[in-house]
């Protein structure tokens, strides 16, 4: 059983979609990364493309990060780390992190109470392994 409800999975996925779109280039590689993440936290891999479509609709109709981060901030450090790692993977998938992506990452970390130092370590590890 997944430790996430369906609505939490859609909300987290919407946050990932937002991170992917922040540089105005929402690529198929980024969609694949989000689908892979949904697979990793969901029990129903057969419905994951529909989950992504729901997340895209939610993100398109929302202008607040808060609704996406409220549930995440209640989760364990391990889960937050997994989500931050996924956001970083999406942001570096095009081999660069621009100022808007960096700013979004800092804001998300603040909203979910995730330490900047750990975020930096995750980002550095991913950049070194790219």
The total number of structural domains that make up the chain = 1
Q: Identify whether 61 is part of a domain.
A: yes
CATH number assigned to the domain comprising residue 118: 1.10.3680.10
Q: Identify whether 69 is part of a domain.
A: yes
Q: Identify whether 113 is part of a domain.
A: yes
In angstroms, the CA 113 to CA 125 distance is 21
Burial 2-23 (b: 16+ CB within 10 A, else e): eebeeebbbbbbbbbbbbbebb
Q: pLDDT (tens digit, 9 = 90+) per residue, 37-65?
A: 999 988 776 789 999 999 999 999 987 87
Taking all residues of the chain, what is their mean pLDDT, rounded to a whole number?
91
Q: Identify whether 98 is part of a domain.
A: yes
Q: pLDDT (tens digit, 9 = 90+) per residue, 80-93?
A: 999 999 999 999 99
Q: Identify whether 119 is part of a domain.
A: yes
In angstroms, the CA 70 to CA 28 distance is 28
Domain span at residue 89?
A: 6-128
pLDDT of 1 over the 60 cut = no
Q: Identify whether 1 is part of a domain.
A: no
């Amino acid at each position: 059983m997944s430790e996430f409800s369906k609505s939490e999975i859609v909300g987290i996925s919407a946050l990932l979609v937002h991170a992917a779109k922040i540089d105005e280039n929402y690529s198929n590689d980024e969609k694949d990364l989000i689908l892979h993440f949904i697979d990793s936290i969901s029990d129903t891999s057969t419905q994951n493309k529909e989950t992504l479509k729901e997340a895209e609709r939610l993100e398109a109709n929302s202008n607040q990060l808060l609704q996406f981060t409220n549930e995440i901030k209640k989760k364990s450090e391990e889960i937050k780390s997994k989500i931050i790692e996924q956001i970083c993977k999406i942001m570096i998938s095009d081999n660069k992190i621009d100022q808007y992506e960096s700013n979004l990452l800092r804001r998300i970390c603040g909203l979910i109470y995730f330490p900047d130092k750990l975020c930096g370590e995750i980002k550095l590890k991913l950049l070194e392994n790219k």
